Structure 1
Amino acid sequence: MVFAVTATLAAGTGVLSHRGGGPSADERRMLGELSLVPVLAQRPDATDYERSAFGQAWTDNTDAAGANNGCDTRNDILNRDLGDKVLAVVDSCARAVAAGELRSPYSGHWIVFKRGKGSGAKVQIDHIVPLAYAWAMGARTWSGAMRQRFANDPANLVAVDGEANQDKSDSAPSRWMPANSGFHCQYAVQFVMVLRTYGLYLDRPSVPVLTRALEQC
């Protein structure tokens, strides 16, 4: 089974392009995908969740897309998402971002990134479908290898400002959506497709939230 999610992005914006004139074929398809996600009345308790259940953080040693390339997952996502980059060699990656800039899709704020003390807090890599949420919605039954793949799947990862990431924590869409409303469409698309790809459940209160976001695409 192949675990990969792809979405067409409008260049430089981080959101799906909107063509207007009523629902597009992509919008209808995504609403159809949402309708196929199994729903639970509420999110189950996950007091048994531990980050270690998803393996070593940002390991390159998985079968996720793009893995085993000589760079850990964090550096891969920084390289993918940051612009105006200067690259350097570090222990965990031969083409790590030493400096660059990011317009955080969650807040819309521009961030100047420079590798060094504090840079890991300033620009963070977020799991769009949070690991704790995934654990509660089905991942607790997976093998360790599958959870490690999930934690490092680029389709579920995005570079964002640390403040927004901390604000989100492990919230479902029913409790948190990006402050940048222009990213709601893309956020909903990726959330839904990750659930579909991995066979995860969705909490019922999040269904109308994701539906509204997809209707804005």
Structure 2
Amino acid sequence: MPSYPKTLPLTALAAAVLITAGCTSDPGAPGGPAAPDGRAISPLENPDGTKPGLAPVTTDADKAAARRLIEGLSTKGRGPKTGYDRDEFGRAWMDTADGVPLARNGCDTRNDLIRRDARNLRFKDGSDCVVVAMTLQDPYTGKTIEWRKSKAAEVQIDHVVPLSYSWQMGSSRWPVSKRKQFANDVLNLIPVQGRANSAKSDSGPASWLPPARPIRCAYAVRFAQVATKYEMPVTAPDKKTMLRQCGG
């Protein structure tokens, strides 16, 4: 099992913060977005998705690299949704999908992702896998979320390239094993604010982008990384939107 940092005993102040679940702003900037998580890694430096977070793509050189990646994507129109069902991609958060990092480590995919991206982790008694409280810097909104398992829906795991989108772009013809891999690949998964994930639904970039503008190029890069890995086309409007986020 991969090594993740465990939480030190909570101080009374930290415990009080965890009890007050929800989204907060950086106390140094009242009413503004939270400060970026210093642990987050640019997707250009995290091509397998095993490192935490989604840091902005900021330099001209990195934006040029991002555009080259996006320009390499093929395009086609979205096909019909006929026959789509979540079960076509296997049981949710299975630990047994082949061909993806962190599989078969004794911990399900959801908890693997929380442990990858979150801070101040608290585990269920007797477990080094099941997270019951944590602090998440949500890349999509810039908010800091103090989360407890009793309010699980406040943090959801987003498929950057939605399963339904992939179905319409060709995964309906993939072997089941490849669909299971796609659904559990940490490259395609990010813990985010539940409301933002619900608003996104199965949209592509032309229809939905993260509310936090500084992260939009990074989001486009990650979308392109997943599409490239699985040899999946995107729609022409999605490609155009992705290029625009990175200065194209």
TM-score normalised according to structure 1 size: 0.86
Amino acid of the structure 1 residue aligned with 2:44:
A
- Find the counterpart in structure 1 of residue 63 from structure 2: 27
Structure 1 outlier segments of 4+, above 6 Å: none
Does the CA-based 8 Å contact 2:93-2:184 persist in structure 1? yes
1:14 is displaced (CA, Å) by 2.9
Q: Could you tell me how far 1:33 is from its partner in structure 2?
A: 1.9
Q: Closer, same or farther in 2 for the Cα pair 1:201/1:13, shift >3 Å?
A: closer
For residue 106 of structure 2, the aligned residue among 56, 60, 70 is: 70
In 1, Cα distance between equivalents of 2:145 and 2:91: 27
Letter in 2 for 1:137: M
**Secondary structure at 1:95's aligned position in 2?**
coil
- Give how far 1:7 is off: 3.4
Q: Does 1:105 align with 2:139?
A: yes
Separation of aligned partners in 2, 1:108 and 1:47: 36
TM-score, normalization: structure 2? Answer: 0.75
Task: Choose which of 170, 184, 198 in structure 1 pairs with 2:230.
Answer: 198
Contact 2:80 2:168 survives alignment (8 Å): yes
1:14 equivalent in alignment to 2:54 = yes
Structure with higher Rg: it is 2
Q: Deviations over 1:101-154 (max 9, x none)?
A: 1121111222111122x31x1110000000000111111111101100000000
CA distance in 1, matches of 2:113, 2:52: 15
- Distance in 2 between the 1:17 and 1:173 partners? 17
1:44 is matched with 79
What is aligned with 2:204? 172
The range that moved more, 127-136 or 77-86, is 77-86
Name the one with the larger strand percent: 1
Tell me the SS of whatever aligns to 2:115: helix
2:120 equivalent to 1:84: yes
* Residue number among 109, 126, 148 corresponding to 1:114 in the alignment: 148
Decide which moves more: 122-131 or 94-103: 94-103
Q: Identity over aligned residues, as a percent?
A: 35
Instruction: Kindly indicate whether the alpha-carbon contact (under 8 Å) linking 1:70 and 1:94 is maintained by their aligned counterparts in 2.
Output: no
Equivalent residues, number: 201
3-state SS, counterpart of residue 215 of structure 1? coil
Contact kept, 8 Å, 1:54 with 1:144, in 2: the verdict is yes
Q: Retained in 1: the 8 A contact 2:166–2:232?
A: yes
Within the candidate set 135, 158, 165, 2:167 is matched to 135
Q: Which amino acid aligns with 1:115?
A: K
TM-fit CA distance, 1:65: 1.1
The CA distance in 2 between the partners of 1:210 and 1:162, in whole Å, is 23
Query: Take 1:89 and 1:36, find their aligned partners in 2: how far apart are those partners?
Result: 47
Decide whether the 8 Å contact of 2:114 with 2:131 is kept in 1. Answer: yes
